[in-house]
Structure formats: C-alpha cells, structure tokens
A = this chain, B = another copy of it.
Amino acid sequence: MAARAARMAPALTTDLASADRRESAKSEMRARILATADRLFYHQGIRAVGVDTVADEVGISKRTLYNYFPSKEALVAAYLEGRASALPPSDLPPVEQVLGSFDRLERYFESQGFRGCPFVNAIAELSDAGAEINKIAIDFKEGRRLWYRDLLVRLGVADPDGLATQLRLLIEGAIATALVSRNAKVARSAGEAARALLAGAGVQLPVSAGAAKSKRKR
C-alpha cells in the first residue's frame, strides 16, 4: 500500500509512469499487428493468410502475436471491428453528402487494393463464422444505412428508411459488381440510379458539374 502510494507520485518531468509506458507500448504493438492483419486479410483473404504470415510481416514471433490476440478468430474480429469505423461528421448539405458517397465510389473501386467489401468477403469465406463476426458485419451495414436515413430525414423524404435501404442496395451491388467485373464504371451507374431514386422521392438535386451533356450512362 505504501509502495503503491509512492508509485502514484513519481513526479519526474513529463515521463509517463512505467505502467503507462508499458500500456502504450502494448497498444502500439497491437495497432501494428492489426494494421498488418488488415492488409493481409483484406487483400489475400482471411483463410488464405495464416498467423505465421501475419507475425512474419509484423516482424514478431508467432508466440508474441498470440500474446496479443488469443486466437486467429479474435484477430479476425478485431480486423473487422477496425473496418467498421463510423463515418466522420460533415457540414455539407445532406443531399451533397448522399451524392458524395456515390461519387467517391469510383475512385474507391479504382484504388489499387480494392477487393470488395471486407464484411461480405468474411461472411462468404467463413461459412461457419462465429456470432461475433456476424454481428460486426450486420452492425456495420445497419450503421451505414442509418447514416443515409438521417440525411434523408433532414431532406424531408417521406420514407427515409425505405429509401436508405435502397441506396444501400445500390452501394452493395456496385461493390460486388466492381469486385467481380473489375469495372469501376459501375460506380456511375449506381450514382445515376441514386439520383433517380432521390428525384423520385421529391429531393431537389443540385445541378452537377457539366450536367448538360450527361445523357449517357451504361
């Protein structure tokens, strides 16, 4: 107890207490492992990447990796959790936020490492995925749907839930199609469809840059 009290007041400049430093090092290492696992799992697939490979890429021993994650399944769950980060808030008008989410798709599909939706892939790969992994995937999808829903509410749409679901279907469909056909152009089809659905729901769309000639879709 006395020793503990003494440890509470080391008072040495800006140094962290040793316990805190250890915590910080641990959390840094955890982040490094997660970053590597994310890269490997997403690009090559979960079943295709063994824990040995992850450890090697991080530059640590497998034993140490198992010191941070009790099993591969836990590592996979953490990987998916990391992919489920919430969208940052934006000051843009709601309609621009919605359309922007579609406009960003094309570059996403064109980006080097694009390999579809990590959650869909995980469910497809792990037919017997644990309940935790399923929950993470469902929560992510629902979170994205609610993000649309809230924006649509602000736009005064009559059925924000239904339209949000439909916009999500377009996103999911575009991701799946881009994965299979490797054609980033489907992003534009999704955007056009989203605009049509929004217009049909009475949302006033902003005049897009160079909209005069955009008749063709494909």
Interface residues, chain A, CB within 8 Å of chain B? 43-45, 47-48, 115-117, 119-121, 123-128, 134, 137-138, 141-142, 159, 161-163, 165-166, 168-177, 179-181, 186, 189-190, 192-193, 196-197, 199-200, 215-218
Complex Cα spacing A152 to B128, Å: 40
Whether A216 contacts B159 in the complex (CB less than 8 A), given A127-B48, A192-B166, comes out as yes
Whether A196 contacts B200 in the complex (CB less than 8 A), given A127-B44, A169-B174, A177-B172, comes out as yes
CB < 8 Å neighbour of A45 from B127, B189, B192, B200: B127
CB < 8 Å neighbour of A123 from B48, B169, B180, B197: B180
Q: Which chain B positions have C-beta within 8 A of A120?
A: 116, 120, 124, 176, 179-180
Which of A47, A166, A175, A190 has the most chain B CB within a 10 Å cutoff?
A166
Whether the Cβ atoms of A138 and B217 lie closer than 8 Å is no
